[in-house]
Structure 1
Amino acid sequence: MEYNVNQISPVKTQVNVTVPAEEADAALATAVALYRSKADIKGFRKGKVPASVIESRFKKEITAEATTDLINVHINEIMGELKLSPLSGLDVSDAALQKGESLEYTFTFEHAPAFDLPEYKGQAIEEEEVVIGDAEIDAVVERVRKNLAEVKPIADARPAMDGEVVSVTFEAFENGEPIPGVRAENFELSLGEGQALPEFEALIKTIPAGEEGSSEMTFPADFINTDLAGRTVLMKVAVHVIKERLLPEVDDELAKKAGNFENLDKMREAITMSYKKSREDLHRSSAQKKLLDNLLAQVEFPLPESVVEQQLSSMADDFVQKLERQGKSLAGVGKTMEDLEAELKPKAEELVKTQIFLAAVAAKEELSVSPQEMDAFFYRLSTQTGQDVVLLKRYYEDNGLMILVRDKLLADKAADFIYANALVTKVPATEKPEEDDKGYGVRE
């Protein structure tokens, strides 16, 4: 086997391969022998079928398997010699072995560009100190109270108010006819928490328990159900029950119910420690981002187009899914997929550039990912998604995603390495960071 390399661009390489007839014939003969050992053909003992019969009966399958196996062997050998790692799938030209003939084919792939790394050790960076106020802890305790509140029907014949829970039946009408799909019975809703359209909640808050009411309302232009977006309907609502929340006292009993804490002080201490860890992680992540931004500003290199496209597609899908979770649609916010991708492309390019940079650092520092670290990743992912860890890992293996996981863990290690070797100066916090305040060891 002989090959020559054609560098199409700094991030794309094509390899032209020539296989002599002798090697091609050997590959076909090996495939015939394997089929002969397994073939069960009437009139012949297993393993004793003449090669000519096997070649005639299974010519198409033998040619395909022999060609694929031989090309895979060559590609693995060539890639090892080139010391290049594809960042996307290989594009292999059509090829098929023919007895007594040489075989020629090409394969093309994208890879990281060659570039000089700037000095990434000993970089100076500022990191905000962690400051936690009593008001923030009080807010978490208040949410705990709310989630542990007793809910009971009210006795007063009055409409519901924010903070209360209602059970309602509703249906939408247009031109006197019910609109399919816009009806629910005994639907429970917590008022004042943004769980429903403001106009719908406003209507409910005019109707006492046991009574009915109606009002016209217009669905938002960006409503997720595009058939309803912008339409004005008559909404009829029957309020069955109004329940109020009876909040427990802020005392040691609350702490025991919330998370089996010894007392209220222990619960507040757990919340504070979890808050502190969350803020430390957030500030460290921000410092790492600044470090990387400073380093990336010192290098320029072309980006593999297919990798940028994959990143862009993933970001666009995530954006659309987030809109849908908010009850909105892409068309409803006045965007097309082309508009969205144009907006997201600079960020996608930044992420790909960061990945390539960190991969280069990992290679230079000879960082590696152990099988145990890969397993730990899947255990964490299993916990987050609620999926079986074995099935989750098998899915990644079957779909060729294990390299992506390894590369992500390597990038994380490279970022941690840069941070560990940086000159970090703690500075006063400027403002409260935006974060999710949930998950502090108590049942909220």
Structure 2
Amino acid sequence: MQYTIEEITSLERKILVQLNKDDVNKALDEVISEFAKNIEVKGFKKGKAPHDRIETEYSEKIQKEATDKAVDDAVQKIFQETKINPLSQVRFDYQEGEQTLIRNNSFKFTFYFEILPNVPLPELDKLTIKVFEPNITPKDVYNVTRRFCKGKIQLTEIKELRTPQASEICIIDFESLYQNKPVPGMQGKNYYLKLEEGNNTELNKITFQLKNGEEKISQIVVPQDYSYPLVRGKEVSLKVKLKQIYKETLPEMTEELAISLGFKNLKDFERTVLSQAMNIHAQKVKLEGQQKLLNELIEPLKIELPISLLAFYKSEYLQEVKERLKICGHNSNEISVILKDLSQFAEEEAIKNTKIHIFLLSLAIRENLSISEDELNKHINQLAIKNKQSPDELYKFMQENNIIQKIEDRLLTDKAMELLYNKTKKIMIDKDGKDIRVDK
């Protein structure tokens, strides 16, 4: 095998490959040998048919499988020899008339891909970040208890004409308009809303003011982090109708109830609730800290971004928005208009996510992180269970649609993020922002 590498741009590479006739014949022979083990040819026992007979009868299938295998093996060998880590999916270009291997002939093909740009990486042991001290509240304990007691909760409708109280459940209809058009994602029918003290969302505040059956239209300013970017910071009208109020009552926690829920006793239940509440709160603090840390590291980055990755993240963002709009009941014409309006925002999201991807992938390479076959299979099995699919069928689908590499990259960037956060010195602060202690 011979190959030459060309630089198309600073990040894109082109590799021209030629397999000589010995490479071609070897690839064909290997596939034929595998075929011979499992097929039956008339006049011969299974596995005993001559290879030339098999090659004649199954030439098209053998050539295709041999070509796929030879090309894949060649690409992997080139990457190993050159120590190149391709960032994008490999794109192939075959010579005209040379779509498959032909015995005693050489075979040429070309492939393209992008590589990682040079990313300035920090020394992890010198990083610091301020995060809130994990501190569970009665609300956290209540929410965990509620999950354990699901199915045993009593709901009582409030018939009295009054405004709802904190912790009560309201059934509402709501709709928001901007420039006389519905705001994507800001509509709901028979929406289940649990009112919480201290929750300052406009929907929560307006519902607190209504009595059963009342309706109110208010002008609100959309938060800057709202999922539909075109209305961020804009004033929109929000109409809310309170249809019903329910009081939620948890069962009295007793030894008998704790045991019926699968615990040894009431103390075991209480310990578990506190532990889970703390874990949930700690995880929330961790996620917020990771996002803050990433933003601080990514924002000043000035690097060239790979076109393929930008295109991928833009497409992913628009697809997610499209799915949300479908759930909200928008028709295809409305969705098309909205997605067109969002093109600029999608590009901005793509730039941010591409920077994060490149930074974390570069960090993973520097720190010699990798994803084992067991880790990959475990993740695919979890996806299969979640989607009620066969793991083997899902893996096959991912292979056929070139998704495996994307999955591995995501797992690798997750692992890099975990390392980054764990190595960063955390300064714990209270709710007022005052330093409490330093966790290394």
Q: TM-score range by the shorter chain?
A: 0.5 to 0.7
Q: Structure 1 unaligned segments of length 5 or more: list them.
A: 167-188, 195-201, 207-241, 432-444
Equivalent residues of 2:380, 2:394 under 8 A apart? no
Match of 1:436 in 2: none
1:122 to 107, 119, 126: 126
**Percent of aligned pairs with the same residue?**
20
Q: Does 1:102 align with 2:106?
A: yes
| Whole-Å separation in 1 of the counterparts to 2:415 and 2:77 | 29
Equivalent residues of 2:364, 2:412 under 8 A apart? yes
Q: Does 1:407 align with 2:409?
A: yes
| Whole-Å separation in 2 of the counterparts to 1:84 and 1:97 | 26
For the structure 1 residues 109 and 39, does the alpha-carbon distance in structure 2 shift closer, same or farther, using more than 3 Å as the test?
same
Match of 2:117 in 1: 113
Q: Offset of 1:395 from its aligned partner?
A: 0.8
| Whole-Å separation in 1 of the counterparts to 2:257 and 2:302 | 57
Equivalent residues of 1:248, 1:254 under 8 A apart? no
Q: Output the amino acid matched with 1:17.
A: V
1:305 to 281, 304, 307: 307
Match of 2:257 in 1: 256
Spell out the pairing of 1:14-413 with structure 2 (5 A cutoff): 14-28=14-28, 42=42, 47=48, 51=52, 57-94=57-94, 95=98, 96-134=100-138, 148=152, 150=154, 248=249, 251-252=252-253, 256=257, 259=261, 271=273, 273-328=275-330, 332=334, 335-374=337-376, 377=379, 381=383, 385=386, 387=388, 391-392=390-391, 394-396=393-395, 398-400=397-399, 401-413=403-415
Which stretch shows the higher mean deviation, 90-99 or 366-375? Answer: 366-375
| Whole-Å separation in 2 of the counterparts to 1:249 and 1:30 | 67
Q: Offset of 1:350 from its aligned partner?
A: 1.5
Q: Output the amino acid matched with 1:75.
A: V
Determine which structure has greater relative contact order: mean sequence separation of CA pairs < 8 Å that are 6+ residues apart, divided by chain length: 1
SS at 1:9 equivalent: coil
Q: Output the amino acid matched with 2:86.
A: P
TM, length-normalised to structure 2: 0.63
Match of 1:12 in 2: 12
SS at 1:282 equivalent: helix
Equivalent residues of 1:132, 1:276 under 8 A apart? yes
SS at 1:69 equivalent: helix
| Whole-Å separation in 2 of the counterparts to 1:302 and 1:355 | 13
For the structure 1 residues 386 and 105, does the alpha-carbon distance in structure 2 shift closer, same or farther, using more than 3 Å as the test?
closer
| Whole-Å separation in 1 of the counterparts to 2:31 and 2:104 | 15
Q: Offset of 1:115 from its aligned partner?
A: 3.4
Equivalent residues of 1:149, 1:245 under 8 A apart? no
Q: Offset of 1:266 from its aligned partner?
A: 8.2
Match of 2:220 in 1: none
TM, length-normalised to structure 1: 0.63
Q: How many residues align?
A: 361
| Whole-Å separation in 2 of the counterparts to 1:392 and 1:145 | 33
Q: Structure 2 unaligned segments of length 5 or more: list them.
A: 172-189, 196-209, 215-242, 434-440
Match of 1:177 in 2: none
| Whole-Å separation in 1 of the counterparts to 2:104 and 2:323 | 55
Equivalent residues of 1:121, 1:422 under 8 A apart? yes
Equivalent residues of 1:149, 1:246 under 8 A apart? no
Q: Output the amino acid matched with 2:395.
A: Y
Q: Offset of 1:38 from its aligned partner?
A: 6.8
For the structure 1 residues 61 and 377, does the alpha-carbon distance in structure 2 shift closer, same or farther, using more than 3 Å as the test?
closer
Equivalent residues of 1:146, 1:245 under 8 A apart? no
For the structure 1 residues 267 and 112, does the alpha-carbon distance in structure 2 shift closer, same or farther, using more than 3 Å as the test?
same
Equivalent residues of 2:133, 2:428 under 8 A apart? yes
| Whole-Å separation in 2 of the counterparts to 1:309 and 1:43 | 55
Q: Output the amino acid matched with 1:124.
A: T
